Structures are given as structure tokens and as C-alpha cells.
Structure 1
Amino acid sequence: MRKVLAISIPPTVRDLGEFALIDRINAGRAQGPAVRLGPGDDAAVLTAARGNYVVSTDMLIEDRHFRLDWSNPDEIGRKAIAQNAADIYAMGAEPVGYVIGLGLPGDTPVDFVSRLADGFWAEAERAGGSVAGGDIVHSAQLVISVTAFGDPLGDRPVTRSGARVGGTVAIAGRPGWSAAGFALLSQAHQGVMRRHADSTAAVVVAAAAAHRAPRPAYDLVRAAMGTATPPEALTDISDGLLADLGHLAAASGVAVAVDSAALRDPDLQLCAAELEADARQWILTGGEDHVFAGVWAPGEAPPPGWTLIGRIEAGRGVAVDGALYRGAGGWEAFSGSDSAK
């Protein structure tokens, strides 16, 4: 008699259904103190402790902002929250809640969505706040839209427009690492396999991880906002260091002078040598690191953990080592190659 093997096929979201999937995603989750009413009603209710909210929305689309063959669902979930939480911190605020819209193909495994939700919650725990609600719809590909709500850490939000001539510019984090990870993953996808030396293997792994799931330095913004001399202007480096400093310069009506020597990163140079690439270009124009750039008042120094990279001068634009930079400063949504391709 022939034995028949029973094959267990993981359930999909189509098998489970919308409402059972929502219940599964939210089961056992504890809401943060600012969420008065979480999932289960027509809308969430959050408190505004200081009377004002900072709100930001970002979207991630499969094969545009991430690849399923490059990243696991936990990493994608972390990335989705991180890029929104970074925008909140870049306003001198701390996240208190998130609402998430998900577009899912019907054959998406339920376990994939559970792990995606675990990534949302893990990064929310690190950044602050909790997932207060959202929506799920059927779509041709995976789409994630996150709206983050934040509470100012000081008397008012910190914008890009507060920089003054004579101020000092500093960053929290290491720019260029996501661009390096993208380059590494792209080469592997194209079949270019390299045997990395032992001295660079750890750097290569770190660069790939930085692209899959960035880890913004939230704690350094919190600490800076708690000092007697917090930054007068802040921005999140998501499009590229020069591009985002250019936005800050334009908003403040000033020029930013960058010292590239302050940005040198020996580890990143090792990675660039492996790929025959330019580490300086990664640092200046690579995006998605979610490094923070702050400007302190004239005569004030940034707190520990921040790296001084330049100063604010009269004029317009961004200069690198005394020369006005006129090249592409970073990412723009409707030009250039896709982030995840």
C-alpha cells in the first residue's frame, strides 16, 4: 500500500479574510500611553499632550522601495516605521502613534503579514509610540503607507527654517551606509559574486543591513532636545546629505558649508574599495540612512554623539570644501533609478 504524504500549505490572507487578519495582527499588542483608543472602532483616539501634533506620512511600494528577495518581512516592517519615525524626530518631536495602510495580494502568506507586523512593533518600541490602527486592502503588490503622530520634545517643533549665519552643522549617524548596501545587493542580484576579505566581511554585512532596515539615532535627538541649547534647525537625511542640507539652506535663507574631511569613514572606504566605488559619493548623495542633521546657534557646540561637519554662512546653496556643489545631491522620486532595483 502506498503512503500518502499530507502536505501542509501555509494559509494566505485570502484564506484567513480581512477581519481575522486584523485580529491576528493586533492580538497581544499593548498600546502606548498616548493612544486612548486603538484598533477596533471607526478611528483611533490619541492625546496631544502639548496641544500640537507633528504628523508625517510615507509610503513604501514593493520593487520601488524594497525587494522581497533582498529583505525579510521583519526588516521591511522596521524600515517602514523607521523612515516615518525619523521624520517626526527631525521636527524635534517623539512619535506617540502610527496608523498603517496595507495593500496585500490575496496569496500573501499570513505568516508573512505577522512577521511584517512584528517589524512594525519592534521599531515602534525602539522609536516610541504604538500602532494605533490602519486599513488593509487587496492590491497587486505589497504597499505600505504609514502615518506617524508625534509630540514635540520642546516648547515647539524644530523646523528646517531656523538656521542662522554663524551656526554650526552636525550630524547624528553615519551617512552613506544604505547606499553602500544598495550597491552590494545590486551586484549580488546581477550575479556579481565577490569573495570578501575577512577584514571587510563584517563591513559588508553591516552595509547590507543598513539598507534593509536603517537604525536612526533617535536617542541622540532626544538627548539634544533635552539640553539647555537644543538645535535651532533639524532635518532627516533621507534623500541624500547634500540634497537635504540644500532643503534646510533654502528654508532658512542661508548657505551650508560642508567639510568633507569630517565625513570620512574608514569602514565605508573599505567597502567602497571592494566594489571599486566612491565612498565620498555615497556619503554626500546616498539616501535612506535617516541620519539627522542639526544646526546649533552661533557659538554653541553640538552635544556628545553628534559629529560637527560644517557651518552656516551667508548666501545660498551647499558648498563642499569651499566649492558650490552643483551635481545631483540625492534622491528625487520621479528621476533616477529605483531604490530597490
Structure 2
Amino acid sequence: MITTGFPASGPTLRELGEREVIRLMRAAAPSSLNGDDAAVLTPAAPNSRVVASTDMLVEGRHFAPETSTPYFVGRKAVLQNFADIEAMGARPIAALLAVSADPETPARVLEDLARGVADEASAYACELVGGDVTGGNRLVVAVTAIGALGGNRPPLTLDGARPGQRVIAHGRLGYSAAGLALLQAGVDVPERLEPLVHAHQVPELIPGRGVVARAAGACAMTDNSDGLIRDLTMLAEASGVGIELASTAIAPDPLLVAAGELLGTDPWQWVLGGGEDHTLLGTIEGSAPVGFRSIGTVSRKAGVRVDGAVPAVTAGWESF
């Protein structure tokens, strides 16, 4: 079943005040580390490094009540930040949440948001350990993710790809964009296609895949946040290499094809330029690690190609 919409009634942020709103959010996302001026985290394992990333979601730009819920926004905000930690080959260990909202917003919106943050973080054995709330003109959600990079292997940076390596992927391609298109089209979404909508509201990744890839010898990694071709182009340019993708390895699956037929859209647009799947994309010598699949190779010729040709779609998400 597809669920959308934000609570429109109940006590507002203005009526409850900052302290009570924070109390509600802490109750929705409980942690013994949350409640002081700063969270004191358990020291990382020996020979480890701290990894940090932050990202935000803005109402009307990244989400809307017509396409999501506060709970889903909270989960997605965590997932997209934890995917960045995983893309370095690190393990998420904590999350911080900052929220700006209109004072007339029902307090349940932030309560549900915090619950979504807590539930997604718990999948990684993490907690929401602090944050901030303030008034504003629209709902803005910012998550800061803290991670730990263990061992002496280098992190999985953008500039680590080398010619001859295998290009690997973990996660779906095109699902989030197809789900958004279905929601925005205003059509009755067949039950069969509901997984596409759910993938837009909360993308799915198996926790720990970045750590697995790094342990297996991966050399470079990023996540598909802005579009497959756009994100791989960034990796290729940073490494001074080219990427050769195989169309058979990234071709739209039956759900994407069915959604394309329903909406009159070429599903390749979603696969190549959709983004927001947060698929882990990397390179490695040898075989793909557990949970990953091979989608191409690294070459010496600059650029990203599909079956040796410039892809039909090269655009992706643009913040401005």
C-alpha cells in the first residue's frame, strides 16, 4: 500500500515550544547519548579513523506531502547520509539531526520524522545522538552522519579507479526516479508497481556493503545520488579514467519497463539519469564482492560509455 501525506492537525510547534518538541523527538528516537551539550561516542576501535558526512532535504525541493510522509523523509535522510559513509568503505556509528520548520507545523510531523530517523539508523546499529530545531519558512531536514573507518586499508575515494578494474554496483538503478514519476503522474499505481514508489520514498541498501567491498579490495566508490552517468563521470574524472558500461548489466527490469509503458516514458531515462537510488558504485581488481554485481570495466579512454557509445541520457540531479 502507498502512503503519503503530512499530519495537518494536532498541537503545533509554536503551541508546545522548543523543549516539549525536543522531548517528543527524543522519545520517538531514544538514546542515552542524547540530551547534553554534545554526544560522547564510544571510542572507535584501534587503528580507525572518524568519517563524517552531511546532507539536507528541503520541502518542495526534495520532498512533498503529496509524495512522502514525515516518517519516510526521516528514513530517507538517514539512508542518503549513511550511503555516503558506506561509499568510503566505513561503518556508520551515529546520526545528528537538525530541523527547521514553520512554527505552525503540527508537532507530530517532527515526532514522526524523528521516529523515521531512529528506525533507519537502528538498521545500522546506530542511534540519533543529538541535533537542533528552529523556526523557519518551510521544513528543512539536515542529517550529519558519523562513521568509523577501521584497519589500515585506504578509504574508497573517488580517485582510486584504475584501467582494467571491474565496475561494481550494489542496489537498484532507476527505481527511485520511476517511483517519483508514478507519484507525480497522478495515476492509480498498480499493486505490482508499488515497490517503485516505496523505493523512492525510502531507497533500500543492505547495511555494511561498503565495508565488505573495502575488505575485498575495492579501490574507488561513490553512491548513485545524482544519476548513474553523472556520478560515474565524477568518479572517472577524479581518477583520470573512463568507464565502459554493459547495457545488459544495467538494463531496465520488468517493473521499470511496465512503469515506462504505463507513463509513456523510456525507462532508460530513469536508469541512466534518475539518481536517488543511492546504489553503491565502485571499482575493484578481480571479482565483485558479495552483494555486488559487475556492470562494466574501467578503461583509459576518458568518459562514460554504454556498449562503447555515449549514453542517450547524461543529465542528472542539479541542486541549482
Assess same fold via TM > 0.5.
Answer: yes
Cα deviations by residue, 1:75-120 (Å, 9 ceiling, x for unpaired): 0110111110111101101111111110011111122221111100
Out of 214, 224, 227, the position equivalent to 2:203 is 214
Pair 1:256–1:40, CA change in 2 (3 A): same
Aligned mates of 1:15, 1:30 — CA distance in 2: 23
Aligned mates of 1:231, 1:44 — CA distance in 2: 32
Shift of 1:315: 2.4
Out of 214, 217, 231, the position equivalent to 2:218 is 231
Aligned mates of 2:80, 2:305 — CA distance in 1: 27
Aligned mates of 1:137, 1:104 — CA distance in 2: 7
Aligned mates of 1:99, 1:110 — CA distance in 2: 19
Out of 278, 286, 311, the position equivalent to 2:274 is 286
Shift of 1:220: 3.1
Shift of 1:54: 1.1
Deviates more, 1:287-296 or 1:123-132: 123-132
Shift of 1:28: 7.1
In structure 1, stretches of 5+ residues that fail to align are 1-8, 32-36, 335-341
Query: Secondary structure, in 3 states, of the residue corresponding to 1:310?
Result: strand
1:42 maps to a residue whose letter is: D
Aligned mates of 1:28, 1:323 — CA distance in 2: 50
- TM-score where L is the length of structure 1: 0.85
Pair 1:28–1:59, CA change in 2 (3 A): closer
Deviates more, 1:85-94 or 1:201-210: 201-210
Query: Secondary structure, in 3 states, of the residue corresponding to 1:256?
Result: strand
Instruction: Count how many residue pairs are aligned between Structure 1 and Structure 2.
Output: 308
Shift of 1:208: 1.0
Aligned mates of 1:30, 1:52 — CA distance in 2: 26
The 5 A counterparts of 1:1-341 are 10-27=10-27, 29-31=29-31, 38-46=33-41, 47-49=43-45, 50-155=47-152, 156-188=154-186, 193-194=187-188, 201-226=190-215, 229-264=216-251, 265-297=253-285, 300-325=286-311, 327-334=313-320
Identity of counterpart residues, as a percentage? 41
4+ residue stretches of structure 1 with deviation over 4 A? none
Contact 1:92 1:154 (8 Å CA) reproduced: no
CA RMSD, aligned part only? 1.9
Pair 1:220–1:275, CA change in 2 (3 A): same
Aligned mates of 1:293, 1:303 — CA distance in 2: 12
Cα deviations by residue, 1:41-74 (Å, 9 ceiling, x for unpaired): 2222233434421111101000100001221111
- TM-score where L is the length of structure 2: 0.90
Contact 2:86 2:208 (8 Å CA) reproduced: no
Shift of 1:325: 4.0
Shift of 1:38: 2.8
Query: Secondary structure, in 3 states, of the residue corresponding to 2:218?
Result: coil
Contact 1:61 1:144 (8 Å CA) reproduced: yes
